[in-house]
Amino acid sequence: MTKPLPPSRIFPSSKVDARAAEHVPSIPQTESPSYKLAFQDEDFLLREDLRPVRFQLELLKPELFLNEANVASTIVFYGSARIPSPEAADALIEAATNDEQRAIAERLKAKSRYYEVARQLARLASRSEIHEDGKRHFVVCSGGGPSIMEAANRGAWEEGKDTIGLNIVLPHEQLPNPYVTPDLSFQFHYFALRKMHFLLRARAVAVFPGGYGTFDELFELLTLIQTGKVRPLPILLFGTDFWSRMVDFQGLAAEGVISPHDLDLIHWSEEAEEAWDFVLRFYERNPHPVPEQSGPPE
């Protein structure tokens, strides 16, 4: 008869000790904060000295969850949280109380078509087949909020596929939209770690009209590719009229502050089907392996 093998680990797990700590008798020594297990002491973890540890945790938690969900690559959606869905656009105009508000509402309504474009692009990307090894590619990832982000998550949800939301704590509460897969809904404190997670698995990035946050995300990505810190990937810029009025890209090249070939980093798009075809053609021309397990830059 084969004897049972001894346990593989000789020390109790942190879960075991955490449960044991719940039943420690109350005496002055055990009531002191110093007696708490370090990983259960919230006040200790929130100390300024522990910021590097919190950085590590915020990098590691989504990474582990996404690995466990077999998410190998993503298509990332950036864009305004204020562009209404087509069905909500008229209500925005009706709610205007003066001419200035009405003019802004009408311009937002004109951009509401991009809600449907983002939704359709997400549907197309979500039809990508799961690889034989179970790894999933072009999983839709957004900031998890309303508007363009909601449209992207909604498109994937309508295809019956998981979809990622990278939310962040803001002064005014912004709950995840209802189309984000609950187990892939993450909340961040650090903008820097959130932006890193947007790009760690990105195989394509779709950028729609937006404000400061969208500009920040777009230009950081362009800089990373321009400087060789990130491998080139399709950057789909939707809204030629909007972006050409907001940023004179040709003017930057003419002034010599960027090179003319830096303009080639951007693919101008207006329709979902054309944009998705460009992504597919890009990887036909530039095939490269996707790491089995992604990680932060060395």
Q: What is the pLDDT of residue 293?
A: 41
Query: Sorting pLDDT into bands at 50, 70 and 90, what band is 295?
Result: very low
Rounded average pLDDT over 147-170:
96
Please write the tens of the pLDDT for every residue from 35-64.
888 888 999 999 999 999 999 999 999 999
pLDDT above 80: residue 279:
yes
Q: What is the pLDDT of residue 187?
A: 96
Q: What is the pLDDT of residue 130?
A: 84
Closest CA to 76 of 231, 225, 235, 192: 235
- H-run or E-run covering 186: strand 185-188
CA dihedral for 232, 238, 240, 245, sign (positive or negative): negative
Length of the chain equals: 298
Q: What is the pLDDT of residue 7?
A: 64
Give the residue, 113 or 6, on which the prediction is more confident. Answer: 113
DSSP state of 4: P
pLDDT above 60: residue 220:
yes
pLDDT above 60: residue 264:
yes
Rounded average pLDDT over 146-164:
97
pLDDT above 50: residue 153:
yes
pLDDT above 60: residue 290:
no
Rounded average pLDDT over 147-160:
97
Instruction: Return the domain boundaries, the chain.
Output: 70-85+113-285
Largest CA distance in the chain: 88
Please write the tens of the pLDDT for every residue from 81-122.
999 888 888 888 888 899 899 999 999 999 999 999 999 999
pTM above 0.95, yes or no: no
Please write the tens of the pLDDT for every residue from 115-146.
999 999 999 999 998 887 889 999 999 999 99
- For the 70-85+113-285 domain, the top CATH level (class) is alpha beta
- H-run or E-run covering 162: none
Rounded average pLDDT over 252-280:
96
Q: What is the pLDDT of residue 173?
A: 66
Q: What is the pLDDT of residue 291?
A: 41
Q: What is the pLDDT of residue 292?
A: 42
d(CA 278, CA 141): 19
**H helices within the chain, ranges in order?**
14-21, 28-31, 42-45, 51-68, 86-94, 99-111, 113-126, 148-158, 191-200, 212-226, 240-246, 249-254, 272-285
